[in-house]
Structure 1
């Protein structure tokens, strides 16, 4: 069962359970997936890798929105946004811990032969592909800067 089918099935389960947060979130995800499937050149298909990228984008947007709501003093809106993020994160692969991320990045830095901060682009190119879905881009970037400094 691919990600699109899983989301569709979970929408039914959320309806039965009367889980409004999950239902609203999953309907939004399905809408985004359908838009991606019907985009020009998509041939009415959506690979799981592309679906994961869309989910990661939605999670990042949700976290960013929640941070803005907190800055504005609207904790109620931030909580609602974070509840939706929690639903979305169930579909993402397990995120790497800081230690696991650092270990993987050290391997990549050694493979690429990076020694200074000027080599960050080379490292980020490889790291972004290898660690896609396992770690946030911002976390990867910060760790690479720290390791090359």
Structure 2
């Protein structure tokens, strides 16, 4: 059983008792998404903390994209609701890496793989080394942008 999933369930109970509508509806939604992952596929299974983090990251990304779409569509109240939900979910994610930390990881990956001279042809190799180190801790688009920058694209 996932410790993070247990924490989400406990926090849901607390939010319901406190009558915190935003928090309880947001946690319910993410628990439903986790259940969908558990029952999806050929056989039902328990998810690990890593899989729960993947679901949380995916849900936060959906909220950010929806907030942008609502803001572009001149619906500021809905955009704010999506941002608030993303903020609730972000509390369960590990601390995000800074730009400097990402740059340091990318630099060491380029040095260790020896792809500096290869230019953009080495991007896949570098991303293969960097992704496991940054998964869940940094936005993959920001990581890819830093790899491109350092490889000279």
* Common topology (TM > 0.5): yes
Q: CA RMSD in A?
A: 1.2
Number of the residue aligned with 1:22: 23
Map Cα deviations across residues 76-125 of structure 1 (whole Å, 9 max, x no partner).
Answer: 11100000000000110000011111111111111111121221111112
Distance 2:45 2:75 in 1: 40
Number of the residue aligned with 1:145: 148
Unaligned runs of 5+ in 2: none
> Partner of 1:30: helix, strand, or coil?
helix
Unaligned runs of 5+ in 1: none
**2:134 matches 1:135:** no
Describe how 1:1-149 pairs up with structure 2 within 5 A: 2-41=3-42, 43-115=44-116, 116-149=119-152
Q: Relative to structure 2, which stretch is displaced further, 103-112 or 85-94?
A: 103-112
> Partner of 1:143: helix, strand, or coil?
helix
Map Cα deviations across residues 44-89 of structure 1 (whole Å, 9 max, x no partner).
Answer: 2101111111111111111111111111111111100000000000
Q: How far has the Cα of 1:40 moved from its partner?
A: 2.5
Distance 2:103 2:111 in 1: 12
State the 4+ residue runs in structure 1 displaced beyond 3 angstroms.
none
Normalised TM-score (structure 2): 0.93
Distance 2:44 2:110 in 1: 38
